[in-house]
């Protein structure tokens, strides 16, 4: 049986390969950008309130900071307790055009030893976990110096 | 100036992992505070409880739960929740009632029974809750954020893991002197360096544990204190409970992203700095007036960040301040002479109240071998999840 590929959160990202993008929203009145997306109200306190339209975020940004998780996180993070825990890196990335910082997991195989503050990274599609019916997809950050 | 309230009593249940109900810790702390104040519980006009969030209803709705445990006597009741800032909000609520003339003497109580391991969100699928999503999508625990801040300081300010360890060495030496602290053993820099990495670059001994504990205060109007025979009480002069300003540009627990600064320029100061500034403005004092500070050292690196946010030094100068011994007992501005969260572990709704208990002891000159000589002005500061500022300034 093939698993269906389902985003872990609906509407936060779209596309495949080089076309993969995080999705935010932009206020038509004040041009503020929101990620995670705001669909009901603009959160700029000086804004009269505009229409919030979906907008893809920049594909590339620079590392604001990074860390990793050496211990298994608690649920609702999904892991197999039968398997040994493999740490992964987490990267906070500054997007210059949107002037915001987005946190995400690094692609598998990239550890904190491979990272530096200021390094360029790009967003790529990734897999968070799989269960019997579903492959849950997410976004990952990958240093642009690393091949696919 | 808003006006001052008197601190008549302070009491605590020792921090630890006792495995009993938070109600018991709160009741023990409350009785200790009442005894310290020399006030009968039946004469308390109002009780304010800081909520824990475990066990079904938030803290079994803390204010009334503590009132019942102490014996129903009809007092006005208030319960507040503001994550780590709950205790300061409880102090703020009590102060407002006193200054508004709604109550003369108020009991403030916070207590917690800590869960095992990482803090985690409540159960269920909640895709609209950022605290649930950061665990589900990223596996981002609280130490994840502490690790990000620490690495950022290393990159921007040149802090080192040795600087972070020095915070633990300082705080553990002070905690060893505090009978209410959970960890009462001095820790060496070598022991910090030998402990396991939890969230790079931070190690187990850089990160505070979660603890059981309880803390309470008896607050009163200045007139009540005088009638009660206390002419020169410790007074609370400021309670800062501010929220951030848009756009918040420091990635904050439990968020997955910051606000965007593309349409609105970010404020001149960070949220944490604004928490302290609001307290200073309300109290009419500045960082140069402080005798001591109790700050929320969820991690060693975060204590250094608070030095800068409180204005004890310029941006990027915190590690030097620590290395020069300025924040040690006997230094110009001792920080966390209680031993800090490094020695206590965090008992969320009790912690901000415990910070004030330490200020009270110090300002009364009752802190024995960890006494700050001639303490006159103290500040406590912390930041609660979801945008809750918290700082209290007490004077003598
Ligand atoms: Zn807007």
Q: How far is CA B359 from CA B37, B208, B355, B363, in A?
A: 16, 21, 7, 6
Pair A68, A134 in one domain = yes
- pLDDT for B114 equals 84
Q: Write the pLDDT tens digit of every residue in A70-112.
A: 999 998 999 999 999 999 999 999 999 999 999 999 999 999 9
Q: Write the pLDDT tens digit of every residue in B69-105.
A: 999 999 999 999 998 999 999 999 999 999 999 999 9
- pLDDT for B1 equals 44
> Taking a C-beta distance cutoff of 8 angstroms, is the pair B187, B204 a contact?
no
Pair A130, A81 in one domain = yes
Q: Where are the alpha helices (DSSP H) in A4-64?
A: none
B177 touches chain A (CB under 8 A): no
Please give the distance of CA A26 from its chain centroid, rounded to a whole number. Answer: 18
Gyration radius of chain B over CA positions: 20
SS3 state of residue A131: coil
Determine, for residues A44 and B147 on separate chains, whether the beta-carbon distance falls below 8 Å. no
- pLDDT for B55 equals 52
* Minimal CA separation from A90 to chain B, in Å: 8
Asked whether residue A47 is domain-assigned, the answer is yes
* Minimal CA separation from A147 to chain B, in Å: 23
Q: Write the pLDDT tens digit of every residue in B349-394.
A: 999 999 999 999 999 999 999 999 999 999 999 998 888 999 999 9
pLDDT at residue B107 is higher than 90: yes
What mean pLDDT is predicted for residues B233-247?
A: 97
Q: What is the pTM of this model?
A: 0.96
What mean pLDDT is predicted for residues B211-229?
A: 97
Q: Write the pLDDT tens digit of every residue in A23-44.
A: 999 999 999 999 999 999 999 9
Specify the DSSP class assigned to residue A109. Answer: T
Structural domain of A97: 1-6+59-148
Q: Of B152, B155, B118, B177, nearest to B298 (Cα)?
A: B118
Structural domains of chain A, count: 2
Asked whether residue A13 is domain-assigned, the answer is no
- pLDDT for A147 equals 56
Pair A63, A53 in one domain = no
d(CA B388, CA B250): 14
Pair A126, A106 in one domain = yes
* Minimal CA separation from A49 to chain B, in Å: 13
Pair A68, A96 in one domain = yes
Determine, for residues B139 and A100 on separate chains, whether the beta-carbon distance falls below 8 Å. no
Q: How many C-beta atoms surround the C-beta of residue B152 within 10 A? A: 22
Average pLDDT, chain A: 95
A112 touches chain B (CB under 8 A): yes
- pLDDT for A122 equals 98
β-pairing verdict for B202-203 and A60-68: unpaired
Pair A88, A37 in one domain = no
Q: Which pLDDT band holds residue A146 (cuts at 50, 70, 90)?
A: low
- pLDDT for B306 equals 98
- pLDDT for B318 equals 98
* Minimal CA separation from B72 to chain A, in Å: 39
The answer for A 71-90 residues in CB contact with B (under 8 A) is 71, 73-78, 88, 90
Q: Write the pLDDT tens digit of every residue in B39-65.
A: 999 999 999 999 987 655 667 789 999
- pLDDT for B354 equals 98
CATH 3.40.47.10 residue window(s) in chain B: 5-117+212-235, 130-199+237-395
Structure tokens at B41: 């519980």
Pair A104, A118 in one domain = yes
Pair A85, A31 in one domain = no
Residue with more model confidence, B132 or B277: B277
- pLDDT for A14 equals 98
A99: left (phi over 0), alpha (psi -120 to 50) or beta: left
B198 touches chain A (CB under 8 A): yes
Determine, for residues A34 and B196 on separate chains, whether the beta-carbon distance falls below 8 Å. no
pLDDT > 90 fraction of chain A, expressed in percent and rounded: 93
Pair A147, A120 in one domain = yes
pLDDT at residue B238 is higher than 70: yes
> Taking a C-beta distance cutoff of 8 angstroms, is the pair B295, B380 a contact?
yes
Burial grade of B292 (CB within 10 A; 0-12, 13-18, 19 or more): buried
Q: Is CATH 3.40.47.10 what the domain over B130-199+237-395 is classified as, yes or no?
A: yes
Pair A76, A130 in one domain = yes
d(CA B211, CA B345): 5
d(CA B265, CA B247): 7
Asked whether residue A102 is domain-assigned, the answer is yes
Q: Is the peptide bond before A148 cis (omega within 30 degrees of 0)?
A: no
pLDDT at residue B325 is higher than 70: yes
How remote is the CA of residue A31 from the centroid of ligand 1, in Å? 6
A101 touches chain B (CB under 8 A): yes
Determine, for residues A74 and B259 on separate chains, whether the beta-carbon distance falls below 8 Å. no
H or E segment at B160? none
Residues of chain A neighbouring B299 (CB-CB closer than 8 A): none
Backbone phi and psi for residue A57, each to the nearest 5 degrees, phi listed first: -90, 165
pLDDT > 90 fraction of chain B, expressed in percent and rounded: 89
Q: Nearest by CB to B141, which of A27, A69, A103? A: A69
Pair A134, A97 in one domain = yes
Residues of chain A neighbouring B125 (CB-CB closer than 8 A): 76
d(CA B33, CA B12): 7
Would you state the CATH architecture of domain B5-117+212-235? 3-Layer(aba) Sandwich (3.40)
How remote is the CA of residue A45 from the centroid of ligand 1, in Å? 8
Asked whether residue A16 is domain-assigned, the answer is no
Q: Which pLDDT band holds residue B262 (cuts at 50, 70, 90)?
A: very high
Expressed in angstroms, the distance from the first to the final Cα of chain A is 27
Determine, for residues B136 and A8 on separate chains, whether the beta-carbon distance falls below 8 Å. yes
Q: Which of A76, A111, A127 to mutate to test the interface with B (most CBs of B within 10 A)?
A: A76
Residues of chain A neighbouring B263 (CB-CB closer than 8 A): 27, 30-33, 44, 47
Determine, for residues B198 and A71 on separate chains, whether the beta-carbon distance falls below 8 Å. yes
What mean pLDDT is predicted for residues B216-235?
A: 97
CA angle A122, A127, A128 (to 5 degrees): 105
Residue with more model confidence, A145 or B251: B251
A23 touches chain B (CB under 8 A): no
Residue with more model confidence, B39 or B122: B39
- pLDDT for B310 equals 98
Determine, for residues A103 and B256 on separate chains, whether the beta-carbon distance falls below 8 Å. yes
B139 touches chain A (CB under 8 A): yes
- pLDDT for B122 equals 67
* Minimal CA separation from A113 to chain B, in Å: 10
Residues of chain A neighbouring B202 (CB-CB closer than 8 A): 67
Pair A96, A126 in one domain = yes
Q: Nearest by CB to A73, which of B139, B148, B256? A: B139
């Amino acid at each position: 049986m093939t698993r269906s590929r389902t985003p872990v959160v609906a509407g936060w990202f779209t596309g495949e390969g080089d076309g993969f993008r995080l999705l935010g929203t932009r206020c038509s009145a004040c041009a503020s950008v929101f990620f995670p997306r705001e669909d009901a109200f603009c959160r700029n306190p000086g804004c009269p309130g505009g229409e919030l339209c979906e907008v893809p975020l920049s594909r590339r940004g620079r590392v604001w900071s990074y860390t990793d998780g050496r211990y298994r996180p608690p649920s609702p993070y999904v892991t197999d307790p039968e398997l040994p825990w493999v740490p992964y890196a987490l990267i906070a990335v500054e997007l210059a055009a949107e002037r915001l910082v987005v946190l995400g997991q690094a692609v598998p195989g990239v550890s904190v030893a491979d990272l530096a503050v200021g390094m360029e990274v790009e967003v790529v599609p990734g897999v968070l976990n799989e269960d019997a019916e579903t492959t849950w997809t997410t976004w990952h950050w990958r240093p642009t110096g690393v091949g696919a | 100036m808003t006006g001052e309230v008197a601190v008549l009593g302070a009491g605590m249940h020792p921090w630890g992992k006792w495995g009993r109900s938070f109600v018991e810790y709160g009741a023990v702390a409350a009785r200790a505070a009442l005894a310290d104040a020399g006030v009968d519980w039946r004469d308390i006009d109002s009780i304010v409880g800081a909520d824990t969030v475990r066990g079904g209803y938030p803290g079994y709705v803390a204010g009334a739960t503590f009132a019942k445990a102490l014996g129903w006597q009809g007092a006005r009741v208030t319960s507040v929740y503001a994550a780590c800032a709950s205790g300061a909000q409880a102090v703020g609520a009590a102060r407002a009632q006193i200054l508004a003339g709604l109550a003369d003497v108020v009991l403030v109580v916070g207590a917690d029974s800590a869960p095992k391991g990482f803090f985690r969100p409540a159960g269920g699928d909640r895709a609209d809750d950022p605290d649930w999503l950061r665990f589900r999508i990223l596996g981002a625990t609280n130490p994840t954020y502490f690790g990000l801040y620490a690495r950022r300081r290393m990159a921007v300010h040149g802090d080192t893991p040795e600087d972070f360890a020095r915070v633990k060495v300082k705080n553990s030496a002070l905690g060893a002197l505090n009978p209410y602290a959970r960890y009462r053993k001095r820790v060496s820099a070598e022991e910090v360096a030998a402990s396991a990495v939890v969230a790079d670059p931070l190690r187990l001994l850089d990160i505070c544990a979660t603890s059981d504990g309880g803390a309470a205060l008896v607050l009163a109007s200045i007139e009540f204190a005088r009638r009660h025979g206390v002419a020169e009480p410790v007074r609370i002069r400021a309670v800062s409970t501010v929220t951030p300003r848009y756009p918040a540009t420091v990635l904050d627990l439990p968020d997955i992203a910051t606000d965007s600064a593309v349409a609105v320029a970010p404020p001149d100061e960070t949220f944490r700095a604004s928490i302290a500034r609001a307290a200073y403005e309300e109290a009419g004092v500045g960082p140069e007036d402080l005798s001591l500070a109790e700050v929320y050292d969820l991690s060693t690196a975060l204590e250094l960040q608070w030095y800068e946010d409180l204005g004890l030094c310029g941006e990027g100068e915190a590690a030097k301040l620590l290395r020069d011994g300025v924040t040690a007992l006997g230094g110009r501005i001792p920080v966390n002479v209680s031993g800090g969260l490094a020695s206590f572990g965090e008992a969320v709704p009790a912690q901000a109240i415990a910070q004030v208990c330490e200020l009270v002891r110090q300002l009364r000159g009752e802190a024995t071998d960890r006494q700050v000589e001639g303490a006159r002005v103290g500040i406590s500061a912390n930041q609660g999840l979801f945008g809750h500022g918290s700082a209290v300034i007490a004077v003598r």
